[in-house]
Structure 1
Amino acid sequence: MAKLQVAIDLLTTEDAIALATKVAPYVDIIELGTPLIKSEGLSVITAMKSAFPDKMIFADFKTADAGGLEAEMAFKAGADYITILGATGNSTISGAVEAAKKYNRAVVVDTIGVKDRVKRAQEVIALGVEFVELHAGLDEQAEPGYSIQVLIDEASRAGVPVSIAGGVNINNIEAVKNSGATVAVAGAAIYGQEDPAAAAKALKEALA
């Protein structure tokens, strides 16, 4: 069964933990978004792991250089996953993977900005990353004509473990599941709803 990851794009630790408290029963992975980490620093990772020790904590660093160093920073703070940009060089990804082995944690490669996401996904899996995030960022999603179907089609062709992030919601979650993605990443479809817990529960049930 595909895992459900909530992407928390709030800006304070207090708000992030309040949201996570509501949705934790229904999600497998709690993602601390890049703006949240930039706003609050490494302390938000530690706070979230302390509050939810049984959940996987995903630090969306989007690292582009110094992969080993930044991965070690994230893992020491309590993260289970760190993201490295797929658009960066293999040496940066490999450095992060080495740090992950040291701490028994994992690296996820984020394909935001990558033109051929399927090809890059296949390349970086060979470097030892856990899975690859087929990701359309908020700006790309706002472009005219954007459709998550592109990511769904890519996931079905990739042949390697991937997550889908870029507009996952209750209307397309079944297609995301059927693509073979190992993780479905939902942000606004959870935190933007009047009842985030109910929204997360519905998404989780759809993945079953």
Structure 2
Amino acid sequence: MAKLQVAIDLLSTEAALELAAKVAPYVDIIELGTPLIKQEGLKVVTAMKQAHPDKLVFADMKTADTGALEAEMAFKAGADLVTVMGTVDDATVKGAVEAAKKYGKQVVVDTIGVKDRVKRAREVTAFGVAFVELHAGLDEQALPGYSIQKLINEGKEAGVPFSIAGGVNADSIKAVLEAGAVVAVAGSAIYGASDPAKAAEALKAAFK
């Protein structure tokens, strides 16, 4: 069954824990955003896993080099999933996957900046990653004419396990799930809502 992932793009451990406490009943994966990890370090990963041991904790490392080393650092801190950038050398992805096998954890490849997301998704899936995140970053989403439908179409075409991140909200969640996404990643639709718990609950209802 598909999972709901909340992307926490806040900048303090305290704020992240506060938000996670509100939405935890409705999400399956708690993602700690790259800016948050850069600001707080991997201690935020440890704190989140200790607070929510029953949830998958996703460390959005966006690793670009030393795949095995950075993955191992995150896994030791308590992460269940880590990201490696799809634009990197194959060796970096493979190194992270080897570290994941060692710790019984998983790697996700993030496709920000990848020109041919469908082709790269197929390539890295063969290396043993858990799934590929078809991801339009905040900068891309701000461009004129951006539509999440492109990611949805790419997911259908790729034919591999994928998540979608980049505009998942109450209006798009149904299409994301119907496309076959194994994970739907909601960020501002949850943390930017006046009532994050209610927003997460509404999104989770679409999974049933």
TM-score range, shorter chain: over 0.9
Matched residues in 1 for 2:158 and 2:25: separation? 30
Q: Which residue of 1 aligns with 2:80?
A: 80
Deviations 1:13-71 (A, max 9, x none): 00000000000000000000000000000100000000000000000000000000000
Q: Which residue of 1 aligns with 2:161?
A: 161
Q: Which residue of 2 aligns with 1:50?
A: 50
Letter in 1 for 2:169: N
Matched residues in 2 for 1:13 and 1:139: separation? 24
Give runs of aligned pairs for residues 190-201 of structure 1, distance below 5 A. Answer: 190-201=190-201
Letter in 2 for 1:37: I
Matched residues in 1 for 2:11 and 2:85: separation? 22
TM-score, normalised to structure 2, is 0.99
Give runs of aligned pairs for residues 46-125 of structure 1, distance below 5 A. Answer: 46-125=46-125
Q: Aligned-pair distance for 1:207?
A: 1.7
Q: Specify every segment of 5 or more residues in structure 1 that has no aligned partner in the other structure, as ranges.
A: none
Letter in 2 for 1:129: V
Q: Which residue of 1 aligns with 2:149?
A: 149
Deviations 1:112-151 (A, max 9, x none): 0001101100000000100000000000000011000000
Q: Specify every segment of 5 or more residues in structure 2 that has no aligned partner in the other structure, as ranges.
A: none
TM-score, normalised to structure 1, is 0.99
Matched residues in 2 for 1:23 and 1:126: separation? 34
Letter in 2 for 1:180: G
| Displacement over 6 Å in runs of 4+ | none
Secondary structure at the aligned position of 1:65 is classed as coil
Count of residue pairs the alignment pairs up: 208
Matched residues in 2 for 1:94 and 1:75: separation? 16
Secondary structure at the aligned position of 2:62 is classed as strand
- Tell me if 1:6 matches 2:6: yes
Q: Which residue of 2 aligns with 1:38?
A: 38
Q: Aligned-pair distance for 1:190?
A: 0.3
Matched residues in 2 for 1:191 and 1:2: separation? 21
